């Protein structure tokens, strides 16, 4: 870790040359290899009257750092100690300040605690690699030698397959002897020699730059394109790597978008660029986007061929993002995950006609209204990811994103079911939903943590989704989920009204004003009641007192007459009590003559109404946990299928729900009643 030191009291030493470091450029700390950006070069404290040309504030516009700030320190005595003011990518490695030295502002760091001062003695910082060097180290020479039997290869090539995202480079040399080809592992200091038969053909296959489509140099600390000292190298790279489609330069030391443009220029077929964990100099919103090296070629012309851009954890604000995307007019995929300064969406992202996928996962944006207003201008947006954001409420609004088909909100902080209703209204054509609650979800939130119930309720609330949490929704699951939702609403409304009554009596508060206190607060309630022919349950509109409020109603059919007889019973009652109640009820009817009293043996069957019976309050598709099944055919008669399951071990509520039908018939004298 860099050590912050005070120049006072240090022995005067000759001022070292500082030409090897430039303000605004990025380096690695020589001891810890932590990435950082140089923000200041000079004595401490800075000379009085010195301009801020050596500070980070002078680099807010997008011009090369070497032109905006001199590499030499301000005018000072030859014996003064020179210091490097740096800003670490990770604040944990800084010295707890943001560029202040003894209450004197030396430079401005973007993060509190990320700044440090390093004494310029020896080589405290290391430069990064050039892309040209990294390509040749891995794949062999870029320039094709006329005297080489295998074009594009060298004896110091690397045995790695192209296109992997994470690569580890180990320099090796090959030798050919009687035992065959062998390689000396560079990391072993020539102490390990490994036989590698046919290594030449492997080198030849790996070194075919013309065939490479994906190439990754993550955490290899690429700082620039390179190749300026070799005539024709850039042109040859451009010629040989025209097939490259995806380039990963994550965790790099690239200082500016101009350097990025120089790299992109060399790959004519490039479509996807990954720059995660970068710290690029900011683009000003009114920047003219001209490249100093090619003033006749704007940046948006260079980046116009790119369709996919990854900028996760680049410390971007929304305004900076809006300035960047102007350079990429043909973007289809944009990833902005974990950008901690991106806490508010304050303006439209712009007229990106082709943008289909946007990910803001892990950004601290908390206002839903800003999200909708900023993205409504994107006509092709199909997929949106807002996972791990602190959005706690979704307000009702008139603006809708009709084109969004896929939405992800994992680890959500939404607190009420109405938030999901508003979400369904603003994404009317959603077909794919990924949703889960945060592990720290508060206890007073309305949403259930039961994954099965949460899935059923989400399916019911979003009428068009075909996939939930990457699992396909079948037609039968949708029907069951919507019927379950109706019952869940009834229970929730009753519970809320009971709580409201207690609060009203105790604190004299308005009764029934909470969200969800009536069925109309539950989104698709009325629609689902009509769709499935479910009768409104008046019990949800007024809380019943005592055991009577818990009783369910069953409709009993007999062979003599299909007009049902209604009985009420507690779900917790045993099946034997249901037998007795049915016997008593049927003995009191004129049309049932064969029942002779409570000693009569009889058989019970559940009744399945294929299309529902709204007149008697029955639902289609009675649960399959029936004692026996009795279905009604098209002629109105019943047919029965006997099962081997015996019901005595279960209570009434296990077999039947409110509104179910029962077929009851007298059992033969020698049969067991069920």
Mean pLDDT computed over 375-381: 93
Residue with tokens 């296109």: 163
At residue 517 the predicted structure's pLDDT band, cuts being 50, 70 and 90, is low
Query: Where in 478-581 does DSSP place strands (E)?
Result: 552-557, 565-569
CB 30 within 8 A of CB 73: no
pLDDT at residue 190 in the model: 67
pLDDT at residue 266 in the model: 94
State the fold for domain 26-126: SH3 type barrels. (2.30.30)
pLDDT at residue 536 in the model: 54
φ/ψ of residue 405, rounded to 5: -105, -25
Instruction: Indicate the class that CATH gives domain 214-480.
Output: alpha beta
The fraction of the chain above a pLDDT of 90, given in percent, is 43
Top-confidence residue, 471 or 627:
471
The 3-state secondary structure of 243-297 reads CCCEEECCCCCCCCHHHHHHHHCCCCCCCEEECCCCCCCCCCCCCCCECCCCCCC
Mean pLDDT computed over 554-569: 81
- The residues of the chain that CATH labels 2.30.30.190 are 26-126
pLDDT at 283 over 90: no
pLDDT at residue 440 in the model: 87
pLDDT at residue 286 in the model: 55
pLDDT at 75 over 60: no
pLDDT at residue 262 in the model: 94
pLDDT at residue 268 in the model: 94
- The residues of the chain that CATH labels 3.10.20.90 are 547-666
pLDDT at residue 371 in the model: 92
How far apart (Å, rounded) are the C-alpha atoms in residues 405 and 383? 6
pLDDT at residue 673 in the model: 44
Q: Which tens digit of pLDDT belongs to each residue from 92-147?
A: 999 999 999 998 999 999 999 999 999 999 999 999 999 999 999 888 889 876 44
Candidate ranges 313-322, 492-501, 640-649; pick with highest mean pLDDT: 313-322
Mean of pLDDT over the chain: 77
Give the three-state DSSP class for 208.
Answer: coil
Q: Which tens digit of pLDDT belongs to each residue from 414-435?
A: 999 999 999 999 999 999 999 9
- The residues of the chain that CATH labels 3.80.10.10 are 214-480
pLDDT at residue 597 in the model: 40
Quick count: other Cβ atoms within 10 Å of Cβ 380?
12
pLDDT at residue 591 in the model: 36
Residue with tokens 């709204």: 614
Instruction: Indicate the class that CATH gives domain 547-666.
Output: alpha beta
Mean pLDDT computed over 173-185: 55
At residue 173 the predicted structure's pLDDT band, cuts being 50, 70 and 90, is very low
Q: Which tens digit of pLDDT belongs to each residue from 609-667?
A: 555 444 444 444 443 334 454 444 444 455 454 444 444 557 888 778 888 888 777 66
Structure token digits, residue 601? 């043996």
pLDDT at residue 77 in the model: 59
CB 620 within 8 A of CB 611: yes
What are the distances in angstroms from CA 291 to CA 161, 302, 327, 581? 34, 10, 12, 90
β-bridge pairing 383-385 and 638-641: unpaired
Give the three-state DSSP class for 357.
Answer: strand
Q: Which helix (H) or strand (E) holds 416?
A: none
Structure token digits, residue 67? 């032109």
pTM for this prediction = 0.69
Burial 61-87 (b: 16+ CB within 10 A, else e): ebbbbeebbebbbbebeeebbbbbbbb
CB 182 within 8 A of CB 194: yes
């Amino acid at each position: 870790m860099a050590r912050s030191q005070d120049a006072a009291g240090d022995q005067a030493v000759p001022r070292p040359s500082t030409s090897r470091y430039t303000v605004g450029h990025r380096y690695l700390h020589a001891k810890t290899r932590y990435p950082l950006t140089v923000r200041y070069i000079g004595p401490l404290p800075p000379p009085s009257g010195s301009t801020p040309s050596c500070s980070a504030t002078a680099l807010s516009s997008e011009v090369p750092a070497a032109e905006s700030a001199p590499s030499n320190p301000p005018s000072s005595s030859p014996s003064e100690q020179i210091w490097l003011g740096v800003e670490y990518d990770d604040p944990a490695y800084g010295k707890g300040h943001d560029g202040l030295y003894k209450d004197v502002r030396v430079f401005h760091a973007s993060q509190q605690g990320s700044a440090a001062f390093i004494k310029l003695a020896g080589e405290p910082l290391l430069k990064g690699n050039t892309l040209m060097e990294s390509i040749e180290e891995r794949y062999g020479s870029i320039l094709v030698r006329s005297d080489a039997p295998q074009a594009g290869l060298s004896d110091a090539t690397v045995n790695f397959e192209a296109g992997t995202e994470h690569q580890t480079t180990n320099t090796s040399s090959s030798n050919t002897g009687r035992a065959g080809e062998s390689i000396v592992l560079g990391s072993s200091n020539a102490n390990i020699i490994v036989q590698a038969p046919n290594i030449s053909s492997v080198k030849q296959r790996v070194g075919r730059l013309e065939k490479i489509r994906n190439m990754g140099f993550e955490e290899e600390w690429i700082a620039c394109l390179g190749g300026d000292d070799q005539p024709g190298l850039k042109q040859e790279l451009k010629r040989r790597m025209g097939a490259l489609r995806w380039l990963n330069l994550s965790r790099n030391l690239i200082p500016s978008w101009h350097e990025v443009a120089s790299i992109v220029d060399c790959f004519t077929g490039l479509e996807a660029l990954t720059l995660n964990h970068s710290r690029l100099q900011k683009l000003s919103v009114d920047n003219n986007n001209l490249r100093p090296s090619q003033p006749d070629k704007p940046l948006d012309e260079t980046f116009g061929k790119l369709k996919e851009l990854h900028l996760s954890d680049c410390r971007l604000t929304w305004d900076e993002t809006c300035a960047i995307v102007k350079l990429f007019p043909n973007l289809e995929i944009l990833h902005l995950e974990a950008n901690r300064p991106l806490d508010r969406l304050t303006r439209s992202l712009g007229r990106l006609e082709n943008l289909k996928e946007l990910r803001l996962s892990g950004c601290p944006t908390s206002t839903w209204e800003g999200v909708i207003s900023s993205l409504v201008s994107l006509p092709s947006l199909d997929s949106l990811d807002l996972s791990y954001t602190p959005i706690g409420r979704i307000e009702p609004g008139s603006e809708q994103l009709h084109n969004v088909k896929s939405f992800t909100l994992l680890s959500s902080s939404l607190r009420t079911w109405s938030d999901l209703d508003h979400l369904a209204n603003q994404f009317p054509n959603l077909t794919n939903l990924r949703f889960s609650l945060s592990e720290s979800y508060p206890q007073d939130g309305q949403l259930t943590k039961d994954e099965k119930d949460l899935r059923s309720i989400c399916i019911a609330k979003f009428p068009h989704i075909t996939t939930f949490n990457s699992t396909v929704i079948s037609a039968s699951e949708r029907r069951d989920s919507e019927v379950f939702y109706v019952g869940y609403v009834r229970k929730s409304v009753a519970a809320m009204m009971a709580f409201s009554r207690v609060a009203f009596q105790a604190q004299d508060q308005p009764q029934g004003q909470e969200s969800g206190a009536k069925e109309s607060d539950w989104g698709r309630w009325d629609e689902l009641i009509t769709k499935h022919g479910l009768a409104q349950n008046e019990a949800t509109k007024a809380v019943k007192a005592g055991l009577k409020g818990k009783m369910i109603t069953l409709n009993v059919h007999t062979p003599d007459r299909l007009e049902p007889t209604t009985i009420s019973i507690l779900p917790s009652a045993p099946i034997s009590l249901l037998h007795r109640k049915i016997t008593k009820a049927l003995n009191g009817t004129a049309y049932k003559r064969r029942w002779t009293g409570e000693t009569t043996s009889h058989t019970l069957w559940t009744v399945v109404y294929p299309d529902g019976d709204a007149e008697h309050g029955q639902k289609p598709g009675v649960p399959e946990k029936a004692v026996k099944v009795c279905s009604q055919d098209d002629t109105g008669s019943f047919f029965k299928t006997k099962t081997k399951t015996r019901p005595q071990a279960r209570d009434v509520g296990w077999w039947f729900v409110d509104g179910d039908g029962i077929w009851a018939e007298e059992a033969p004298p020698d049969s067991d009643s069920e």
